[in-house]
Amino acid sequence: MRLPESQVAVLNAASATDERTIAQLAEATDLKPETVTGAVFDLRDDGLVSVTETVEEDVELTDEGVEYAEDGLPEVRLYRAALDVGDGDSVQMGQVIGASSLGGPQVDIALSNFARKGYGRIDSGELAPDADADPDADEEAAALAALAAGDDVDADVLDQLESRNLVVRNERTIRAVTLSDEGVTALMEGIEAAETVDRLTPEMLTSGEWEDVEFTEYNVEADAPEVRGGKKHILRQTADRVKDVLVGMGFAEMEGPHADADFWINDCLFMPQDHPARTHWDRFALDVPPMEDIPEDLIDRVRSAHLEGVGDDGDGYHSPWSEDFARAIALRGHTTSLSMRYLSGHEVGELEPPQRYFSVEKVYRNDTLDPTHLLEFYQIEGWVMAEDLSVRDLMGTFEEFYSHFGITDIQFKPHYNPYTEPSFELFGRHPETGELIEIGNSGMFREEVLSPLGVECDVMAWGLALERLLMLMYGFDDIRDVHGTLCDLDLLRETEVLR
């Protein structure tokens, strides 16, 4: 029997009675582990060895875990400091923190775990330590010490340490090799090592040597190092898919600034300047010079719409209107600022109906972070300008758009917007939880919006959430899994948006 040199070496190093791991065989043969693995798979396929696989888990302390194993958990240090400073009584939080020598994020970590572990109460800026608490019995502290010493710990405590990013778990597959009866017989009968080559060279072709050499067989099932290269983010993949769909539906793309004048962001939309959404609590105002490049005649018409209304029955808002506020710069809270720029003719010149435009761009809102809200997210903006449009045209557009993504259960709910009438919100059913989640807002632009812009026909418009479209497509229940510092990297690496 003739076998490649690596296989012969592995057979000679293997045993019929004792299992030998890949690492042990690599050391015995002086071959690379990946070379041994390839040889083992080939020998297994030929029935000369048997291979067993087991999965082992290694637990490693993070840098933060090592620090806490040496210095103590922040909540334990806070508790001991509270006892020392207050002699068992309530004490000011600042005084305790100073005595504990905690700093930076450790303070928040200590405070969040102090009450959870029963070390005491936190009330009105004071800490009241529980004198009966026993920090020496802290399971997490004991587990950190055990791991630092190389000992095993309870699985539930390990889960808690992992949730606090104090440990990382690594799984690895251990392969053990033993000679089969056929392998023993082959060794007894004698095996000749065949010199093999792993590539065909030009010199072999010209000399004819290729006819006499034995080429190495490639095992495509052999283990290989995992290579994680860069890839396009799933949100960008989805945005590109949305753009393809809308272009296919006859739309052209809009572009414009992320930081814009409040005039384009809100005033053109007939949003009163005292509207709650325009306060510093809900917008990101920028401390930069105001925008000068706004047509004066357009400012006059928008101001008139706000103060006096539009048409014979117009009444406007009975509230002040400031040109200085209108020219002030803020991060756009919606991409409808682009629609206003285009519909007014300021961006690409006067438009004649019919027209279809869209954008898929980032917007910024001072929202509370939760599974469906972020401070910045992507909005799918779109509008159609044409004669005699109706709500049925708008609904039909949504049904066609979402059908491209396999979403057919779209529901509509009447809504109020200062800038559209009629208006309605869109809802889709989450594929995992079954609950309805809001996915967008839409309506027909009011005369108070269109008339100052010089538009004399109907315009239907919408703003849809790209991240929530992703939730409906793939069943994510938390936007933060795909966006921001808490995102799930494995999910991002493995998910592909179908084109």
CA distance 115 to 113: 6
Note whether 165 and 62 are within 8 A (CB). yes
The tokens for 383 are 């509008």
The DSSP line for 104-170 is THHHHHHHHHHTTTTSEEEETTEEEE-TT--GGG-HHHHHHHHHHTT----HHHHHHHHHTTSEEEE
Query: Residue 438: left if φ>0, alpha if ψ -120 to 50, beta else—which one?
Result: beta
The tokens for 325 are 């506020």
Q: Residue 445 annotated as binding?
A: yes
The tokens for 460 are 């239907």
* Separation in Å, CA 404 to CA 115, 241, 357: 50, 10, 18
Strands 410-415, 259-261: parallel, antiparallel or unpaired by DSSP?
unpaired
Closest residue by Cα to residue 345 from 303, 301, 295: 295
* CB burial string 27-45: b at 16+ within 10 A, e below: eebebeeebbbbbbbbbbe
Q: Residue 421 annotated as binding?
A: yes
Amino acid code (one letter) for 324:
D
Residue with tokens 């299992």, as numbered in its chain: 19
CA distance 143 to 152: 8
Q: Residue 174 annotated as binding?
A: no
Q: What is the CA radius of gyration of the chain?
A: 34
The tokens for 71 are 């210095």
Note whether 223 and 40 are within 8 A (CB). no
Q: Residue 448 annotated as binding?
A: no
Q: What are phi and psi of 331, to 5 degrees?
A: -70, 135
Closest residue by Cα to residue 340 from 354, 323, 359, 320: 359
Q: Residue 273 annotated as binding?
A: no
Q: Give the annotated binding-site residues for Mg(2+).
A: 421
Q: Give the annotated binding-site residues for L-phenylalanine.
A: 336, 379-381, 419, 445
Q: Give the annotated binding-site residues.
A: 336, 379-381, 419, 421, 445
